[in-house]
Structure 1
Amino acid sequence: MTGTTAHVESPSRWWSKDTIAVVTGGNKGIGFEIVRQLASQGITTILTARDESRGLQALSALKEDGLDVLFHQLDVTNSKSIGKLATWIKAEFGGLDILVNNAGVAWSSLPDKVLAAKEVLDTNYYGVKNLTHALLPLFRPSAAGSRVINVSSMAGQLAAVGNDKWKQQLNDEENLNEAVIESFIKVYLKDRAEGTDTVLLMPSQELLETYGNYIASKAACNAHTRVMARDLANRKEGEKIFVNCMCPGVTNTGMSHNRGHSVEEGADTAVWLVLLPASECVTGKFFLKRTDRGFLYIEEAHAPIAQPKIPQK
């Protein structure tokens, strides 16, 4: 769908201007494109960003295109900021219907290894968890069901967790819970503090330093998606909340060093999941290219990223 706005082929258009969507990290990259595509579908979309000035610049650009977008500042790592957003949504709209947890970081510049790991985890895992739980009471009853989409990564596949014990525990959906995820994080942080690698068992120290925090945070995010989906699965008809995660693939943004496919393609699966009619919705799944790929192993994650070609003179 490169270069176009996503459309669902089903004739069941369940949303309207009264449908409220919140997108975190919406001031640039994939988040900005998700906001653009949802607003283009006629959904009232709230763009959030940690930096207010950048968020307002993004809002201005979208409004110039005639899109119905609003802005609210949000730092997903700050409980007061999360609370302010929740209070504002309740006062302005009475609730919401869609949450796209897109805000994320790939690395930290902090020199302390433990603090650096915590910074990545605070955004990619705890930010998703804490915001979703804060907004959960505000999801409005709907015959179509509400939608939570967590923008994750192939890096969080369980094949990247080399310790078989943790791999098994994180893949044991029946017994998986927040305590298991917290234990996984605790041991990973202990590794970081002691300079060991008992959890991920990366092939080299260089790979651990480069990708370890991101892998651990996305593995935790994926596990949280499964826990939430399972815990919400028994809600009665009219109050369903579908919770899924997806990978945008290597997308041409700053996080991927401007390599990969377009932001339109990167945003496509998230928007597709949002717009699906209730009859086609599933919950607790991991999607890549509109396909349920499971949580264990994704072959593309092990394929080397092609280096950009040097243009010929």
Structure 2
Amino acid sequence: MTGTTTVESPMLATYFNNLNALRWWSKDTIAVVTGGNKGIGFEIVRQLASQGVTTILTARDENRGQQALGALKEDGLDVVFHQLDVTDSKSIGELATWIEARFGGIDILVNNAGIGWSSLPNKVLAAKEVLDTNYYGVKNLTHALLPLFRPSPAGSRVVNVSSMAGQLAVVGNNKWRQQLNDEDNLNEEVIESIIQAYLKDRAEGMNNVLLMPSQELLEAYGNYTVSKVACNAHTRVVARDLANRKEGEKVFVNCMCPGVTNTAMSQNQGHSVEEGADTAVWLVLLPAAECVTGKFFLKRTDRGFVYIEEAFAIDAQSMIPEK
């Protein structure tokens, strides 16, 4: 990690120049980014801070978080650090208490922390480890920080960094797929029932939940896929439940896919982290009049939750981690 400033892409530079006239944020705007010490999370922190947003970089590892903070501060960016393990309720509570004491509240939450796989040999425990970070971590942190969102004419923003792997086309059971796509009746109980069915599959060596092209891909990415199906569904539930807030207290909740990005999770394949972070930053900084809620975005485009053709064009086989 160095303090060298990353060169922004022409697309980002044009976007930010055009956005200056519609800027709703200031240095008093507070953003929290989880998993901000590396990869896409680090780049989201860098881009938000470079636009003048006071950004809280969180990371599970204190030393890595401080190193990332040092690199950003060398570039003159207004970033602060706080340790956070999204799988630990105590850690979540400590972050919320600290934010309230130091800043009085927040305006932006980017749930970026995530893992692709687990090294645990037990299949059920491995699945739970991925779900604890990618779904329960997002869910628990969001619920803990929602009371801290401050009233604002521009509205508050929650962006969940998810994946097109979580499209509903991968859910093999028609009943579950329909329940997940029933926005009016979707709830956390439905999400939990599908997670428990998947964990039962893992325990019994079955596959009743997912449509995966091979057993090898199921073993490598089944846990990740289910966690992102759940994350996407959770996004819709929270967005719907907050949709009727009055003007000045709106919270816009969306999820997005960064695409295959050149990070460790993608075995260093794919496009740049600048491009991977682009849609998340775009969603966070949209003018209030252009904001929507409860949507899934890929390349700044609402793609829905059911079927995303690009997901089937990815050579996932080449990204299976070596054992």
**Do the structures match in fold with TM over 0.5?**
yes
Partner of 1:36: 46
* Pick aligned residue for 1:157 from 159, 167, 172: 167
Report whether the alignment pairs 1:47 with 2:47.
Answer: no
Q: Percent identity?
A: 83
Report whether the alignment pairs 1:118 with 2:128.
Answer: yes
Partner of 2:259: 249
Displacement of 1:8 after TM fit? 6.7
Q: Is the 8 A contact 2:72 2:79 kept in 1?
A: yes
* Pick aligned residue for 2:311 from 301, 306, 310: 301
Partner of 1:311: none
Partner of 2:18: 9
Q: Is the 8 A contact 1:8 1:272 kept in 2?
A: no
> Where does 1:230-249 land on structure 2 (aligned, <5 Å)?
230-249=240-259
Tell me, what secondary structure is at the counterpart of 2:198? helix
Deviations 1:21-51 (A, max 9, x none): 0000000000000000000000000000000
Q: Is the 8 A contact 1:7 1:272 kept in 2?
A: no
After TM superposition, the structure 1 stretch with the greater mean CA deviation from structure 2, 160-169 or 209-218, is: 160-169
Q: Is the 8 A contact 1:8 1:275 kept in 2?
A: no
Displacement of 1:307 after TM fit? 9.9
Displacement of 1:9 after TM fit? 2.9
Query: Partners in 2 of 1:243 and 1:306 — Cα distance?
Result: 28
* CA RMSD, Structure 1 to Structure 2 (Å): 1.4
Partner of 2:144: 134
Tell me, what secondary structure is at the counterpart of 1:9? helix
Partner of 2:208: 198
Deviations 1:46-100 (A, max 9, x none): 0000000000000000000000000000000000000000000000000000000
Partner of 1:56: 66
TM-score, normalised relative to structure 1? 0.96
Q: Is the 8 A contact 1:242 1:283 kept in 2?
A: yes
* Pick aligned residue for 1:216 from 210, 214, 226: 226
For 2:18, the aligned partner's letter is E
Tell me, what secondary structure is at the counterpart of 2:40? helix
> Between Structure 1 and Structure 2, how many residues are aligned?
308
Partner of 2:3: none
Tell me, what secondary structure is at the counterpart of 1:186? helix
Q: Is the 8 A contact 2:217 2:317 kept in 1?
A: no
For 2:197, the aligned partner's letter is V
Tell me, what secondary structure is at the counterpart of 1:230? helix
Q: Is the 8 A contact 1:27 1:49 kept in 2?
A: yes
The change in CA–CA distance for 1:245 and 1:306 in structure 2 (over 3 A counts) is closer
Query: Partners in 2 of 1:8 and 1:196 — Cα distance?
Result: 52
TM-score, normalised relative to structure 2? 0.93
Query: Partners in 2 of 1:70 and 1:141 — Cα distance?
Result: 22
Displacement of 1:207 after TM fit? 1.6
Query: Partners in 1 of 2:226 and 2:282 — Cα distance?
Result: 27
Displacement of 1:306 after TM fit? 9.3
* Pick aligned residue for 2:217 from 207, 213, 221: 207
List alignment gaps of at least 5 residues for structure 2. Answer: 1-7, 319-323
Q: Is the 8 A contact 1:2 1:262 kept in 2?
A: no
Query: Partners in 1 of 2:282 and 2:223 — Cα distance?
Result: 29
For 1:7, the aligned partner's letter is F
Moved over 2 A (4+): 1-6, 8-11, 201-204, 304-308
